[in-house]
Structure 1
Amino acid sequence: MGIKKQGFRFLLTGLLLLVLMLAGCPIPETVQENRTYSIEQMLGYLRGQGFSTDDYSLENNRLVIEGDILFNIEDLKAEMYLSDQDSARQSVCINQVRRSKIINIRINTRAPSPSTSIISESWMAALKSAVDAWNNVRNCILNFVLVDSTAKSDTFVCMEANANTGIVAMASGPDWNGNPGTGICINPNWAGGVENLSPSQKYLVMLHEMGHIVGLQHAEFDLTGYGYIPGTPLNDPMSVMNSMVLGS
């Protein structure tokens, strides 16, 4: 399927504004261990950040919301704990990559665990095209770099089976310390067959999930106005960050 260039341009303009506005969050070197939060408390916290939590699931110590956004539960608890200590922090740190971490985001296509596998050549081609698209934003310091399987990396792209057959792929958001999301997982259990997607659809999926790892939410799911990026359209049906980016 095709992508309307105007929608992608507005998204990238907004991403540039977001990057330029980030000054970094003062994260304490130590976070107390005695933080205990229920799933309902975590969901409430995420709703306060503008996320929809109507349908959520738990996958390998990760909380999945809006279908394809992953939060490591321990990282989320740490962010909540820090917010409890200083209420002014709630509007700056959640789900954003810190400016100091955004220069080069290294992507590895290794299989990080026995439950995962490497992506196919067609998905690799889609990833490379998406990397080029993000990197071709003028006057933006954001840069993705593909590295080989033995190199140190910030995030990975792999195949990982998920019980939800309605999800093509999922991605984790930045952690509480401002590091990029740690992974993009393509779901081989997707009912439509992930290898049956066209090259342009795979490219669109990669564009979308790469947006999540730097902290972009679903464009139409900002329930509170909290996550709106100035300079972007209030309603853009062609945005690559819409949740139903491949259609309903």
Structure 2
Amino acid sequence: MSIAFGIGLSACQKEAASTGNDQQAVPEHVLAQIKAQGFSTANVQARDGGWVVEGDIFLDEENLANASVTPNLRIAEVEQYRTNNLVKSLPRVITVMVSDLGSAYVQGTDLAIQRYNAQGLDLTFQRITSGRADITIQGFYEGPSGGFITLGSAGFPTRNGNPYKTIKMNTHPQAYGENPSVTYVGSVIQHEMGHCIGFRHTDYMNRAFSCGSGGNEGASNIGAVHIPGTPTGPDAGSWMLACSNGGDRTFNANDIIALKYLY
């Protein structure tokens, strides 16, 4: 997730943004792999042994090497979508740990967990303070570049059915301010948790819907599988829109349909 800077603050706040990395620094073979997956090669960012694409989606070498196995890929439509891989072994409790972050991030995590657990899913979350967690939320410090500042990023579930293991949250004061809003931070964490359990952006077919610019993110080998029962038109309130509204955003009715269908 990211926030756009211009005259004041833009209403478009992306799920991730440019870090100032020069795309030319990304090896050509990596760009070719990203393109083959169906993701945009614009503004690819090198980070932590992998690559951030489409704003807040982290791809590692395994993701880039995977071939698509689903017969249900859809492109350029407007329903809600999941990835090929989902969390398995349900019912299941996913443990979450917040590592070396301030109270707003801890409270935001608790808020996001509360919102998921209130849905009565076979997948629930529990924050722990010691031991080994399924998902670790940790910080990075990065200022704005190119008109945007990254708020958070995450990846997708593994092939063996585990959630993605890391959510990165920006601790730079221009990301959430000197006194971060718990509901704002919690909404970003809620979104990134959605990626960790297999949700793609609701408007992946056209990022301009929530971001003001951009296009189709592509089905990719990661997968963009339609979730039955979700709308066939743009869904302005979804928690998985590519760009944030800059404040509190939780599940709408269609999001709940999608969550209950999968979990």
Separation in structure 1 between the aligned mates of residue 58 and residue 92 of structure 2, nearest angstrom: 23
SS in 1 for 2:139: strand
Give the aligned residue type for 1:63: W
Asked if 1:136 is matched to 2:118, the reply is yes
Separation in structure 1 between the aligned mates of residue 173 and residue 30 of structure 2, nearest angstrom: 26
What is the number of residues matched between the two proteins? 193
In the other structure, the counterpart of 2:139 is: 159
Task: Return the TM-score normalized by structure 1.
Answer: 0.67
In the other structure, the counterpart of 1:60 is: 48
SS in 2 for 1:191: helix
Which structure is higher in helix share? Answer: 1
In the other structure, the counterpart of 1:186 is: 169
- Once the 2 structures are TM-superposed, how far is the Cα of residue 228 of structure 1 from its aligned partner? 2.8
* Superposition pairs of residues 162-173 of structure 1, within 5 angstroms: 162=142, 166-173=149-156
Separation in structure 2 between the aligned mates of residue 97 and residue 136 of structure 1, nearest angstrom: 20
1:69–1:220 distance in 2 versus 1, CA, 3 Å: same
In the other structure, the counterpart of 1:246 is: 245
In the other structure, the counterpart of 2:226 is: 228
Separation in structure 1 between the aligned mates of residue 47 and residue 84 of structure 2, nearest angstrom: 19
* Superposition pairs of residues 80-159 of structure 1, within 5 angstroms: 80=67, 83=68, 88-89=69-70, 96-100=85-89, 103-110=92-99, 118-138=100-120, 140-149=121-130, 151-159=131-139
Which structure is higher in strand share? Answer: 2
1:207-247 CA-partner distances (Å, limit 9, x unpaired): 11111111111111133574332212231111111121134
SS in 1 for 2:34: helix
SS in 1 for 2:48: coil
Do the aligned partners of 1:173 and 1:212 also contact (CA within 8 Å) in 2?
A: yes
Residue ranges of structure 2 left out of the alignment (5+ in a row): 1-27, 74-81, 206-215, 248-263
1:179–1:53 distance in 2 versus 1, CA, 3 Å: farther
Q: Percent of aligned positions with the same letter in both sequences?
A: 24
SS in 2 for 1:217: coil
SS in 1 for 2:104: helix
